[in-house]
Amino acid sequence: MLILLFYIGNIMYTIKCEKVREIAPMVTLKEIPHTPDFFAGFFNYRGSIVPVIDLCQLVQGCPCRMRLSSRIILVDYIGKDSTSHILGLMAEGVTETIRKPEEAFVLPGIKSEQAPYLGGIVMEQKKMIQYIDLDLLPNCINFLNKD
């Protein structure tokens, strides 16, 4: 299984590539006032409006640094109305993908109340990389569930 590596601050995280639609470079986003800090703004993605989440802000509480390697990961998710939506995830150091077998994904049995989308671990050589569960992430972001 192909997984995408990226950084939030100095810590490496990963997501499974199967839900990833496209990796877009950093673009100018339409910021909306009175939204949570982790909501980076709206992205005009090929004519449709896509909300973008700043993963650095969401996980670590500091905004994503504007580097050439900072990119927007566009993923598909099924909303509460059972239709498919696109979500943008902004992260740093989005430069690499690796292949991992299904067995490499481990759930250590600890669930965080605040961030249930975090917790699964992928073993890469001697390092442990947390992966972000794309099935759980959109439901954790409250304002996405309005529709």
For other proteins (CB under 8 A), the number of binding residues is 18
Q: Judge contact between 39 and 31, C-beta under 8 A.
A: no
Separation of alpha carbons 22 and 16, rounded Å: 13
**If binding is defined by CB under 8 A, does position 26 make contact with other proteins?**
yes
* Candidate list 68, 83, 109, 114; residue touching other proteins; CB under 8 A: 68
Question: Which H or E run includes 138?
Answer: helix 137-140
**If binding is defined by CB under 8 A, does position 95 make contact with other proteins?**
yes
Separation of alpha carbons 136 and 60, rounded Å: 18
Separation of alpha carbons 51 and 81, rounded Å: 17
**If binding is defined by CB under 8 A, does position 24 make contact with other proteins?**
yes
47 versus 109: smaller Cβ distance to other proteins: 47
**If binding is defined by CB under 8 A, does position 63 make contact with other proteins?**
no
Provide the binding-site residues for other proteins, judged by CB under 8 A.
Answer: 24-28, 43-47, 66-70, 93, 95-96
